[in-house]
Amino acid sequence: MSSTPDDPWAEYLVTPRYLAGSDGTGDAGFAPVAHWSHHHLNDGPCQLLVTSPDQRIRIGWFGDDFELWKISAAEDAVSAPRWTASFNHVTPAEIVAGLTTALEHDYAQAEATQSEARFLARPPMYWTDAFKPLTDAGWTRRKPERGTVAIIAPDGQAGALIDIASVGQNDETIMLWAGPPGWGTRAEAVFTTRTPTHLIAATAAAMADPTPVVRERHAISPGMERLATLTPLHPPAPAGPRAPTPLDVRRTAVTQAVQRAALGPQTAADLRIRAARARSSLAPPAGTTQPAIPAPRQPSAPQGLRLGR
């Protein structure tokens, strides 16, 4: 199906993906855990809660809040979370999927091997491994400022901010961000201190992934649109045939009339057309001179006789 530039429902490929914003559904973020239990809580701020079979991992969707996603893991179903990750309403669900994919993999691996779950692993003292996907993609580290470290994307429109001064176990110490400041333009993903390093790395890898994501035109913030590259998923249909001009109409009418006359005269107009064609076939080519018709010769008098008066 073709699209037009002013069609709000036209689909576009958006790059970089971290500037695509949310599609409003969150489907991509839930896809890796579609087989887990779904609890629809329509009466509360959390509208959908997806949990692992043992309920140690919880993925909450807060459809009307600034913090759209809240994801956590605990020692058991009733314990306080070991760590928490939150994603605001501008964060693309494809980036959230980096975390949910890693969580589903960790859970399946722990169940299959009956080993300790990696999603509860204690992170090391050093943070560098968490952001290796970003530095491998060409993102650069900025000079620390007041106990923080920043890593910035090549286009300057995304980055990571690490608070290396906080010591509280539940402090929000790591943020991934994208887009200019503003309620509808700044995407933010925040992790607390004890979030396992490999889970942050999985989220960062999804953020730096160069694969474009699909968005309908109305879902793309104007503030993001001027910074991202939009490619129509369905190119516009080619222009239709040129409308005939009055001269085209006249030429078509003459041609049709000549064709009718060639099949046999039926009307006075057809006879006139055939006569015109006959005259034109006898006419000399343009630019040539019509040969003179010789005059009739006069009979000459016999020799030896003289005509008298």
* Residue 101 neighbours by CB under 8 Å, 6+ apart: 32, 202, 206
Residue 148's alpha-carbon distances to 141, 166, 205, in angstroms, are 11, 10, 21
pLDDT at res. 139: 98
Whether 258 is covered by a domain: the verdict is no
Q: Is residue 248 in some structural domain?
A: no
Q: What is the dihedral of CA 22, 102, 75, 55, to 10 degrees?
A: 60
How confident is the chain (309 residues) per 10-residue block, as mean pLDDT? 68 97 93 96 89 97 90 96 97 98 98 94 88 97 84 97 88 96 95 97 98 94 91 74 68 65 56 56 49 44 39
Alpha-carbon distance of 184 to 88, in angstroms, equals: 10
Q: 131: helix, coil or strand?
A: helix
Residue 257 located in a structural domain: no
Structurally, how many domains does the chain consist of?
Answer: 1
The answer to whether residue 296 is domain-embedded is no
pLDDT on residue 258: 57
Strand, helix or coil at 240? coil
Closest CA to 231 of 242, 240, 220, 241: 220
Residue 261 lies in a domain: no
CA angle 142, 185, 230 (to 5 degrees): 95
CA distance 71 to 61: 9
Q: Residue 91 falls within a domain, yes or no?
A: yes
Rounded to two decimals, the pTM is 0.75
Domain hosting 208: range is 11-232
Q: Measured on CA atoms in the order 259, 261, 267, 272, is the torsion positive or negative?
A: positive
pLDDT at 225: 87
Task: Please answer whether residues 62 and 47 qualify as being in contact, where contact means their C-beta atoms are separated by less than 8 angstroms.
Answer: yes
In a domain, 251, yes or no: no
Other CB atoms within a 10 A radius of the CB of residue 181 amount to 8
283 is a domain residue: no
